[in-house]
């Protein structure tokens, strides 16, 4: 202690560390990563979702440009060329899409009706018919030759009145996608507004709005949609409206839950104390928290809408002829499934691919926006 | 508990009444007439329509309807099966829908649970990945695509099962054989849903603290898993199995259509198409009732299955 007291400090003992330059924070290395960029980084790591995004992009591209890739239109009929199998130039030489069909025919008609069209004989046998043995042949037959369409190529074949399936398939995808995407967009808007009001104001407003949802949601939605489509008549717009009837409920419930989660938090209280209006609080402070779940839920709702559309077409409530949709094509194909499976096969592949990729894409988005949910289905 | 159930039942009755009223107005404002035979003279047509009060103004029709409805008188079918009481028609269509769907559930629930348990126990291994791929595939591909594929390959190409449902009235071996394909087509989606749910619940349970406690007390991994984790993960599973069980009554309209099953789904489409109002309202009432009962049963079952959850306002 004594030593300390005797210590003397002169002015020369001190020196200024920095007098010439001002103090600054260290500069960030690299650029700032925002919410969406962060999500994109995570999304790119998910190979399945990335692949799904590409499949969706290709199908959307084909839905826009596919119908104009050959010279046929979706409603042009060639009755004499009905129900032709698929045939593609180039691929036909290696035995795929060569316009042939395996048929069981009478041996004598090989010289008559099917002359020159038989590509390969697979099997020969006799069939009892009214006690008489008829020699039969199981053979691969070029249907294009039989129907006198030697130089014609229908890439995916033709339907029962000779319309080109390629054009109809992509036009159908366009219609189905349009119904799915528009229905989901409208649902999203209604759901966000309804859920925000119900969740933000709470109390008796919330009570009444939730009872309304309970009543609407209590009616079996499929029956409601069927009634509505029958009432308005078929078409793209009635379909979209019918799906909006009950489709927004899920979105509004999610938004309401988000509002209940955030509206009591301190930052909202702080903002309110400083005089922020309801509008600012809702749209600027609370709603942006829900942007990730909104996008995810909307993506996952698109396959549901496409499914409903096909479902109704199967029940004979499809959008009016001659406009195709994937559901209409599937329903038409179902009638001739056993004879002409190609009519069902291609729409079935497209709808399965669409549903699969939208689901994978949606799951990828959910994991990217909120990594804590990863692994939960 | 009793008080809570009473409250719920009253709320349910009000909802049901609103639903039926809304459906009444939608159905009766549909264009068209039940008499579509153009050869019929105008006065006969009017007489038929008058008999069912179809030419009265809407509020009066609604009055008649309410009077019948409150005395549980749903009337007889006008067109689909004329003069047959509507509930008799529903009763006649119910068994085949029930058969197909119950068989589908018998297949769905055990397979789904077993696959889910395998996936959770072998998390992040080859088996888990294969099951996950299967799940996303089965959930995405629509049931009617499966139905078409099964019908073409299994029934037509291989000839292992009949293409259409056999028309016998009772459940015989031939009929059961013809039911296999619709049952399969209905099951894939359900199996995938249960597997996915079971996997995520069991994964969570396996990582929980009570598992650690059980193991520190000396239970082996197998004992702890079977006695604690799996039992606990069955609780949330009730949430999806109970709706599935009631949902089967609604039937699967498209599957019924593809395989020619004369069930409830077909009935409701036919009745709407034929403008058979009493039958439409009865089927709607039936579906809504099932929907609401399902919600109620699910809510009540929480408390019964898992005593930790209390229902109602009071503690």
Task: Give the model's pLDDT for residue B32.
Answer: 65
φ, ψ dihedrals at A102, nearest 5°: -80, 125
H/E stretch holding B272: helix B264-273
The model's pLDDT over A230-277, given as tens digits with 9 standing for 90+, comes to: 777 777 888 888 888 888 888 898 888 888 888 888 888 898 899 888
A 256-285 residues inside an 8 A Cβ radius of B: none
Percent of chain A beyond pLDDT 90?
5
**Among B residues 276-315, those touching chain A with beta carbons less than 8 Å apart:** 283-284, 287-288, 291-292
Cβ <8 Å between A231 and B30? yes
For the beta sheet containing A132-142, the strands, ordered from the edge strand earlier in sequence to the opposite edge, are: A100-106, A132-142, A118-129
Strands A100-106 and A118-129: unpaired
Is the model's pLDDT at A4 over the cut of 70?
A: no
3-class DSSP state of A261: helix
Mean per-residue pLDDT over chain A, rounded: 80
CA distance B226 to chain A (A): 22
> Across the interface, do A228 and B26 touch by the CB < 8 Å criterion?
yes
Q: Which residue has the higher pLDDT, A127 or A43?
A: A43
Q: What are the DSSP E strand ranges found in chain B?
A: none
What pLDDT does residue A188 have? 92
Using alpha carbons, select from A90, A29, A70 the residue that is nearest to residue A164.
A70
Say what the alpha-carbon torsion angle B110, B114, B120, B123 is, to the nearest 10 degrees. -140
Q: What is residue A54's predicted lDDT score, i.e. its pLDDT? A: 92
CA distances for B295 relative to A217, A309, B225, B300, B312, angstroms:
11, 26, 31, 9, 15
Name residues 68-87 of chain B within 8 A of A (Cβ).
none
Neighbours of B312 (CB within 10 A): 12
- pLDDT top residue among B74 and B37: B74
Contact between residue A232 and residue A168 where contact means Cβ atoms under 8 Å apart? no
Rounded alpha-carbon distances, angstroms, from residue B294 to A245, B17, B276: 22, 17, 27
* Chain A residue with minimum CA distance to B13: A215
Question: Are A223 and B137 an interchain contact pair (Cβ–Cβ within 8 Å)?
Answer: no
Q: Is 0.85 exceeded by the ipTM?
A: no
Give me the pLDDT at residue B4, please: 80
* Residue (of B121, B109, B307) closest to B202 by Cα position: B121
- The answer to whether B93 faces chain A, any CB pair under 8 Å, is no
Confidence band, pLDDT 50/70/90 cuts, at residue B111: very high
Asked if the Cβ–Cβ distance from A356 to B272 is below 8 Å, we say no
A-B CB pairs within 8 A amount to 106
Instruction: Please state the rounded mean pLDDT for residues A38-59.
Output: 86
Residue A374 has pLDDT above 60, yes or no: no
Which among A218, A316, A351 has the least Cβ separation from residue B145? Answer: A351
Query: DSSP labels for A306-351?
Result: HHHHHHHIIIIIPSPTT---HHHHHHHHHHTTTT-THHHHHHHHHH
The answer to whether A214 contacts chain B (CB < 8 Å) is yes
pLDDT one-digit tens code per residue, A109-165:
666 666 666 777 777 777 777 777 777 777 777 777 777 767 777 777 777 777 888
Phi, then psi, of A118 in degrees rounded to 5: -75, 120
Instruction: Enumerate residues 40 to 69 of chain B having a beta carbon within 8 A of any beta carbon in chain A.
Output: none
* C-alpha of A135 from chain center: 51
In terms of CA atoms, which chain A residue is nearest residue B141?
A: A352
- pLDDT, one tens digit per residue, over B274-309 is 777 778 778 878 877 877 787 777 777 776 766 666
State how far the alpha carbon of B265 is from the alpha carbons of A43, A304, B94, B254, in Å.
41, 20, 10, 8
Confidence of residue A377 (pLDDT cuts 50, 70, 90): very low
Rounded average pLDDT over A78-98: 70
The residue-averaged pLDDT of B187-193 equals 87
A323-368 confidence digits (pLDDT tens): 888 888 888 888 777 778 888 888 888 899 988 999 888 888 888 8
Q: Is the pLDDT reported for residue B39 higher than 80?
A: no
Q: Is A102 on the interface with B (CB under 8 A)?
A: no
Instruction: Pick the more confident residue, B248 or B277.
Output: B277
For residue B34, the model assigns a pLDDT of 64
Answer whether residue B138 shows pLDDT above 70. Answer: yes
* Partner A contacted by B13 (CB < 8 A): no
In this structure, are residues A168 and A176 in contact, taking their beta carbons and an 8 Å threshold?
A: no
Contact between chains at B253 and A311 (C-beta distance less than 8 A)? yes
The predicted pLDDT at position A17 comes to 76
Least confident of A49-58, A124-133, B18-27: A124-133
Mutate one of B142, B154, B207, B294 to test the A interface: name it (highest A CB count within 10 A). Answer: B142
Do B27 and A227 lie within an 8 Å CB cutoff?
yes
How much is the pLDDT for B314?
43
Share of chain A above pLDDT 70, in %: 88
B19 vs A219, A227, A316: nearest CB: A219
Instruction: Identify the residue with better confidence: A223 or A347.
Output: A347
Of B137, B142, B292, the CB nearest to A307: B142
| Cβ-nearest to B141 among A222, A344, A356 | A356
Whether B152 and A337 lie within 8 Å, measured CB to CB: yes
State the pLDDT at residue B313.
Answer: 47
Distance (Å) from the C-alpha of residue A112 to the closest C-alpha of chain B?
Answer: 29
B17 close contact with A: CB closer than 8 A: no
CB-closest option in B136, B254, B284 to A311: B254
Beta-carbon count within 10 A of B261 CB: 24
CB proximity B237 to A under 8 Å: no
The residue among A31, A176, A228 whose CA lies nearest residue B30 is: A228
> How many residues are given for chain B?
315
Q: Torsions phi, psi of A88, nearest 5?
A: -125, 135
DSSP state of B251: -
Terminal Cα distance for chain B, rounded: 11
Asked if A154 contacts A88 with a C-beta cutoff of 8 angstroms, the reply is: no
Burial B110-147 (b: 16+ CB within 10 A, else e): eebbebbbbbbbeeeeeebeebbebbbebbbbbbbbbb
Mark yes or no for CB contact A330/B151 under 8 Å.
no
How far off is chain A from B132, nearest CA to CA, in Å? Answer: 10
Residues 149-168 of B with CB under 8 A from A: 149, 151-152, 156, 163
Judged by CB atoms closer than 8 Å, whether chains meet at B136 and A310 is answered as no
- Residue A359 contacts B where some CB pair is shorter than 8 Å: yes
Q: Percent of chain B scored above 70 by pLDDT?
A: 90
Is the Cβ pair B152, A311 closer than 8 Å?
A: no
Q: Which residues of A273-283 are buried (b: 16+ CB within 10 A; e: fewer)?
A: eeeeeeeebbe
Contacts of A221 in chain B (CB under 8 A): none
Residue of A nearest to B197 (CA): A377
B68: closest CA of chain A, how far (Å):
21
Best probe of the B interface among A211, A215, A216, A219, by most B CBs < 10 A, is A219
């Amino acid at each position: 202690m004594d030593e300390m007291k005797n210590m003397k400090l002169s002015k020369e003992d001190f020196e200024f560390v920095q007098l010439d330059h001002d103090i600054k924070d260290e500069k960030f290395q690299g650029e700032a990563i925002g919410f969406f960029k962060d999500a994109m980084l995570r999304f790119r790591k998910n190979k399945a979702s990335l692949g799904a995004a590409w499949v969706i992009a290709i199908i959307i591209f084909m839905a826009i440009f596919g119908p104009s890739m050959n010279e046929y239109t979706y409603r042009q009929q060639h009755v004499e060329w009905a129900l032709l199998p698929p045939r593609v130039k180039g691929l036909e030489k290696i035995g795929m899409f060569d316009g042939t069909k395996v048929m069981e025919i009478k041996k004598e008609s090989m010289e008559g009706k099917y002359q020159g069209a038989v590509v390969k004989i697979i099997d020969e046998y006799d069939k009892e018919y009214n006690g008489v043995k008829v020699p039969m042949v199981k053979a691969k037959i070029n249907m294009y030759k039989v129907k006198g369409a030697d130089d014609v190529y229908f890439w995916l074949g033709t339907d029962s009145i000779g319309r080109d399936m390629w054009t109809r398939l992509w036009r159908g995808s366009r219609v189905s996608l349009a119904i799915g995407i528009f229905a989901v967009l409208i649902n999203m808007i209604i759901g966000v507004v309804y859920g925000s009001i119900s969740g933000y104001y709470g109390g008796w407003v919330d009570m009444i709005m939730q009872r309304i949802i309970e009543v609407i949601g209590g009616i079996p939605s499929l029956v409601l949609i069927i009634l509505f489509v029958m009432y308005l008549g078929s078409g793209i717009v009635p379909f979209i409206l019918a799906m909006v009837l009950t489709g927004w409920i899920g979105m509004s419930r999610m938004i309401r839950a988000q509002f209940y989660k955030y509206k009591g938090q301190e930052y909202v209280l702080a903002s309110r104390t400083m005089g922020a209006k309801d509008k600012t609080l809702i749209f600027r402070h609370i709603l942006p928290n829900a942007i990730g779940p909104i996008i995810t839920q909307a993506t996952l709702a698109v396959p549901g809408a496409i499914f409903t559309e096909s479902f109704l077409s199967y029940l004979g409530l499809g959008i009016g002829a001659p406009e195709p949709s994937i559901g209409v094509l599937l329903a038409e194909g179902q009638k001739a499934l056993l004879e002409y499976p190609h009519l069902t096969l291609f729409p079935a592949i497209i709808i399965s691919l669409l549903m699969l990729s939208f689901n994978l894409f949606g799951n990828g988005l959910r994991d990217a926006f909120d990594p804590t949910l990863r692994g939960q289905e | 508990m009793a008080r809570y159930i009473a409250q719920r039942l009253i709320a349910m009755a009000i909802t049901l009444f609103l639903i039926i009223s809304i459906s009444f107005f939608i159905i009766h404002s549909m264009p068209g007439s039940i008499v579509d035979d153009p050869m019929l003279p105008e006065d006969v047509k009017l007489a038929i329509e008058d008999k069912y009060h179809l030419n009265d103004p809407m509020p009066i029709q609604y009055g008649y309807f309410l009077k019948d409805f409150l005395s549980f008188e749903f009337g007889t079918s006008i067109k689909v099966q004329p003069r047959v009481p509507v509930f008799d028609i529903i009763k006649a269509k119910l068994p085949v829908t029930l058969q197909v769907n119950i068989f589908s559930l018998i297949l769905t629930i055990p397979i789904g649970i077993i696959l889910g348990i395998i996936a959770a126990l072998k998390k992040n291994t080859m088996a888990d990945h294969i099951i996950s791929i299967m799940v996303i595939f089965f959930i995405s591909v629509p049931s009617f695509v499966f139905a078409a594929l099964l019908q073409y390959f299994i029934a037509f190409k291989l000839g292992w099962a009949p293409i259409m449902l056999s028309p016998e009235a009772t459940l015989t071996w031939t009929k059961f054989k013809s039911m296999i394909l619709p049952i399969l087509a209905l099951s894939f989606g359900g199996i995938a849903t249960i597997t996915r749910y079971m996997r995520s619940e069991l994964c969570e349970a396996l990582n929980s603290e009570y598992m650690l406690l059980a193991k520190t007390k000396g239970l082996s991994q197998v004992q702890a898993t079977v006695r604690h984790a799996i039992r606990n993960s069955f609780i949330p599973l009730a949430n999806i199995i109970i709706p599935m069980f009631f949902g089967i009554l609604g039937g699967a309209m498209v599957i019924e259509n593809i395989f020619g099953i004369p069930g409830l789904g077909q009935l409701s489409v036919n009745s709407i198409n034929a403008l058979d109002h009493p039958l439409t309202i009865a089927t709607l009432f039936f579906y809504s009732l099932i929907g609401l009962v399902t919600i109620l049963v699910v809510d009540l079952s929480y408390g019964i299955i898992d005593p930790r959850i209390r229902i109602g306002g009071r503690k």
